[in-house]
Amino acid sequence: MRNFLILSILVLSLSACSDQAGVRRTYVLTTGTTGGTYYPVGVALSTLVTATEESPFALTAISSAGSMENIKLLRDNQAQFGLILGIFAAWAWDGEGPIRNPQSHLRSISAMWPNVEHFVLLNELVTDGTLSDLNNLDGERYVLGMRNSGAEQTGAFILDALGIDYANKFNLAYMGYGASASALQDGNIVGMNVPAGAPVTSITQAYAQLAGRMRVLNFSQQEMDAVNAQYPLWDFYDLAPGTYPYQDEVVTTASSPNVFVVRDDVPEEIVYQLTRLLWDNLATLQEIHSATKQMSIEDALKGNPIPLHPGALRYYQERQIDIPDHLF
């Protein structure tokens, strides 16, 4: 009887171990605010990974305030994967800007879609249609982003580079993208900064509700040169007519890469499989959000300032993608 009990316990123990072995580990992907582009693309990617039966892991996407919070979550291992703005990737790796110490635990997977600058201003304050029009503000409320968000930090970086004294000229308000669009419609602010993959839901909403009584400001060549003086990350980006409701003319703004990053302690095989799933299923992602239609594996490493994770490196080497020296 005693031997039977021992055998029964052993069988049950082995069964439990087998069940646990079959449970996939879930990793966390930190994204951005729900009104931007990071969150819906992150949710789509995590759903794709988790729904793939042969995937050795599961992925769950969470919303956040954006790049700055994502870097903190990755540092504290509350998230293992994240989406961050290109300028934040450069700051994080070098320990510059608002990030005091180099984030040496970070590695990259890919440059993603272009992050398009949308500096929005009511038409009544527009003179020549470029970012210099932000100098026309005199105490009006303007949103650079949520506090400590990527939008706020990159907006401040760009305006500093252009010599626009936003600290004194603007009455700064702090909101996410959706709340900013609503505040603009209600007359509570005169403009907002919304860096995201185009088209952005909140910008579409604002254009439609205001019937075109606002515009996204252009970047001049002089402004582009000033912004790229320290970190040459930005390129001109044309928003074709009709990208947004009531937008009848081309808007020439700027864009920089979004970067998909990962902690260096995530196993190589996990990152390899995620990189493969990303590019093998790009068409599916492109059906979910049009910003990803501008992604291609040929541009997967363009503008990426952080060395690749060994799992991602292996994938690109197998695909015979030319890898810049600084990404090894």
State residue 232's pLDDT score.
86
121, 223: one domain: yes
Residues 173 and 200 in one domain: yes
Q: What's the total number of domains in the chain?
A: 2
Q: Looking at this protein, which amino acid is placed at residue 125?
A: L
**pLDDT digit string (tens) for the chain, length 328 residues:** 433 333 333 333 333 333 344 588 999 999 998 877 899 999 999 999 999 989 999 999 999 988 889 999 999 999 999 999 999 999 999 999 999 899 999 999 999 999 899 999 999 999 999 999 999 999 999 999 988 788 899 999 999 999 999 999 999 999 999 999 999 999 999 999 999 888 999 999 999 999 989 999 999 999 999 999 988 899 999 999 999 999 999 999 999 999 999 999 999 999 999 999 999 999 999 998 888 999 999 999 998 999 999 999 999 999 999 999 999 9
- Domain-located, residue 7: no
pLDDT attached to residue 3: 35
If asked whether residues 242 and 280 sit together in one domain, one would say: no
Q: Which of 256, 271, 294 represents a domain boundary (last residue)? A: 256
- 3-state SS string over 55-106? CCEEEEEECCCCHHHHHHHHHCCCCCEEEEEHHHHHHHHHCCCCCCCCCCCE
Residues 134 and 153 reside in one and the same domain:
yes
The domain containing residue 240 runs over which residues? Answer: 116-256
pLDDT at position 149 is: 80
pLDDT value, residue 105: 98
Q: 133 Cβ partners below 8 Å, 6+ apart?
A: 121, 125, 126, 127, 217
For position 123, which CATH number holds?
Answer: 3.40.190.10
Q: Check residue 10 and give its pLDDT.
A: 30
Both 242 and 276 in one domain: the answer is: no
End residue of a domain, out of 256, 275, 295: 256
Q: What is the pTM of this model?
A: 0.80
Q: Does residue 123 share a domain with residue 234?
A: yes
Task: Please choose, from the candidates 81, 125, 22, the residue with its C-alpha nearest in 3D space to the C-alpha of residue 273.
Answer: 81
Contact 123, 213 (CB under 8 A): yes
- Among candidate residues 308, 318, 302, 287, the one with its CA nearest the CA of residue 45: 287
What pLDDT is recorded for position 22?
59
pLDDT at residue 291, as a whole number? 81
Average pLDDT of every residue of the chain: 91
